[in-house]
Chain A
Amino acid sequence: MKAVGARVPRYDGVAHVTGRTVFVEDVEIPGVAWVKALRSPHHHATITKLDTRPAEQMKGVRAVVTAADVPLNVYGHLSALGIPGDEPLLADAEVRYLGQPIAVVAADDEQTAQAAVDAIEIEFEERPALFDVRKAFDPDAPQIHQWGNWYPHFEAGMDRRQIRKGDIDAAFAQADVIVQGVYRPAAIEQLPLETQVCQVVPEANGRLTIYSCTQALYFSMGVVAAHLQQPLNKFKFVGGTVGGGFGGKVDTATETLCSLLALKSGRPTKWRWTREEEFLCSSTRAPWHMEMADAVTKDGWILGRRMITLHDSGAYARFSPYGVTKHAFHHTGAYTIPNLHFDGWCVFTNRTPTSAMRGFGVTSVSFATETHLSRIAEELGIDPFELRLKNANRIGDTSPNGVVYTDPSTVPTILAIADHLGHELPADYRTMTSEPRSDGLLPEHLVAQVGNPEDH
């Protein structure tokens, strides 16, 4: 425990300030070929013609790879958990988002690679696109995914993540006020300063050395191995130096295709996305559509919450089902609501697929919950701090998915915020702790609802 209370240096601090940290693109590999991708110019279309021969015949082009070259083209981010894959590494027959990769080229330099991409002959038949999650369930909505317009593989074959807790009808019957709200946070790009990048070297011993900016090295190795249908010992991943990720570098965006091109051409390959590609084609934090109705007493107890969430997954599932699950488990924010009725769908649209970003699934509903609680306080005319403290998680309370809190931090956090802002609170709130609710704040008639943690 020598580190506790000590000034511990960053192990990489001096290397950073002397320019000696070696990021992926700083590894100099003689003869490395540049990679560029042919990406879909349409949000949703059928590919009616794809001819890569004009690119293959260009001087300086080392290899062109399409879906036909990928040993296992469709593999899912959650396949290792037994969930079927839905996303092709390279689009085959159909494109479902603008910027989806269809073919990749490795050439002697960046210009030649781009010229080769431009030379590929491709034709599309455009199809109607779906961008609004609210329209995904309409009978006449464009059908955009082989599984339908929403993800059907939650536990027990359910097509949604569902939470049922307590007696929601009784809670709403007891309510003095029902406060409703709709919250729609938009997509956010993770925006690492280092764009997606990797370099792959085919070694003499038949292995591939992969310099990767991945945030999840062993996960990425598994993804590459699965697509290539090769054992893990064929890959040496070199990672650990990431120029910012924030969730956006869990997707294994470049490594697999660079590996295929390296194997096909016998040359080392390098693919660095442009900033424009990073913005247009990489995963984002998801946009969400959340509707909630809270059953509230006039003195500020939240008895129940009904909630519907439509998670905009974009064109493929990636990590979105996991995000919806986290969202469901956290859908009461830092507060305990005894009666819950929640349904969350992972909806497909023709947007860029969404994926991990810093607490994904949770931040959206935290934003919604905090906004909603402030609105409840305003509607009831009571102090928003007192409302939050009343409904705060306490020791022994249970989360929406039944986890018993042993060390919740809502009360001290809110008290610290009030303190910091100089917000006055009555004595019984100021002295509140996370101990189980025995401080007499709870009105007698609600004890059965929220007062006794053993009951729920």
Chain B
Amino acid sequence: MNLNVNGRTHEIESPPLTTLLDVLREELGVHSPKVGCEQGGCGACTVLVDGAPRRSCLLPVAALDGAEITTVEGLGAAEHLEPVQAAFVHHYAAQCGFCTSGLLMAATAYIANGGTDDREAIAEALGGHVCRCTGYVKIVDAVAAAARGDEFDLSVTAAGLFTTTMSGGAA
């Protein structure tokens, strides 16, 4: 069976009931979807399946032959951030970052489906996602800003006082 992940087609070898989350992380090395609860309860593993936000921990890969999967790796790279990514940076919507990938994908689907900056509508769309750091206000701020089409001069932040390292944390 095949999966198209972020524009590239992969032949999948994992057993058929392996979750999409495990296929992405363990077989394909796509690490932005996170293992938070493995029971659909936290949203850290949300990816787009044919454009719709889904918990990848609940999907058996056998049901997805030929599907198009989009993860955060398929959004913009650092130099070409999508508006929703830039909004998350600008509004400090990511703190520890563990829930961020799932939220970004849910927000991407929300905006792609014509979502507005209405805070209640955003809260409804992101309602299944748990963030323990931010208290959600900044996340809703960011999604609303992206939905409005706000533009951010990230050079202010990107060229800030500290050099932004791209290598991330532990490795």
Contact = CB atoms under 8 A, between A and B. Distances in A.
Interface of A: 2-3, 6-28, 190-195, 211, 238-246, 272, 274-275
- Counting chain B CB atoms within 10 Å of each CB, the highest count among A6, A246, A275 belongs to A275
B92 A13 contact: yes
B29 A28 contact: yes
Interface stretch (B36-44, B58-66, B111-119): B36-44
B17 interface: no
A194 B101 CA distance: 13
Contact of A19 (B31, B35, B38, B96): B31
A19 B170 contact: no
Contacts of B133: 244
A8 B94 CA distance: 14
Contacts of A274: 38
B34 interface: yes
A275 to B, nearest CB: 4
Contacts of A240: 169-170
Contacts of A192: 96, 98, 132
Given A12-B94, A23-B31, A27-B170, 12 more contacts: A8-B160, A9-B160, A9-B162, A10-B95, A14-B81, A15-B78, A17-B75, A18-B77, A26-B31, A241-B168, A241-B169, A241-B170
A345 B41 CA distance: 37
Given A20-B168, A23-B170, A193 B72 contact: no
A21 B97 contact: yes
A50 B19 CA distance: 35
Contacts of A13: 88-89, 92, 94, 157, 164
The 3 closest A-B pairs by CB, nearest first: A241-B169, A19-B32, A243-B98
Given A17-B89, A18-B75, A22-B169, A6 B161 contact: yes
B158 interface: yes
B88 to A, nearest CB: 5
30 contacts: A7-B156, A7-B157, A7-B160, A8-B161, A8-B162, A9-B89, A9-B164, A11-B164, A13-B88, A13-B92, A15-B165, A16-B89, A17-B75, A17-B94, A17-B104, A18-B77, A18-B85, A19-B32, A19-B73, A20-B168, A23-B31, A23-B97, A191-B132, A193-B131, A194-B36, A195-B36, A241-B169, A243-B98, A245-B96, A274-B38
A334 B168 CA distance: 40
B42 A193 contact: yes
A24 B97 CA distance: 13
Contacts of B97: 12, 15-16, 21, 23, 241, 243
A94 B39 CA distance: 33
B73 to A, nearest CB: 5
Contacts of B168: 12, 15, 20-22, 241
- Counting chain A CB atoms within 10 Å of each CB, the highest count among B29, B31, B38, B76 belongs to B31
Nearest to A199: B170
Contacts of A242: 96
A18 B72 contact: yes
A194 B34 CA distance: 8
B126 interface: no
Given A7-B156, A21-B97, A275-B37, A12 B161 contact: no
A392 B81 CA distance: 50
Nearest to A242: B96
Contacts of A275: 36-39, 41-42
Interface in B13-61: 25, 29, 31-32, 34-39, 41-42, 44
A272 B35 CA distance: 9
B96 to A, nearest CB: 5
A20 B166 contact: yes
B99 interface: yes
A17 B98 CA distance: 10
Contacts of A11: 162-165
Contacts of A9: 89, 157-158, 160-162, 164
B100 A17 contact: yes
Contacts of B88: 13, 16-17
B1 to A, nearest CB: 21
Given A18-B78, A244-B133, A274-B38, A238 B170 contact: yes
Interface string B131-171: 11100000000000000000000001110111111111111
A18 B170 contact: no
B130 interface: yes
Contacts of B165: 11-12, 15
A21 B81 contact: no
- Counting chain A CB atoms within 10 Å of each CB, the highest count among B78, B161, B171 belongs to B171
B86 to A, nearest CB: 8
A14 B32 contact: no
A24 B96 CA distance: 13
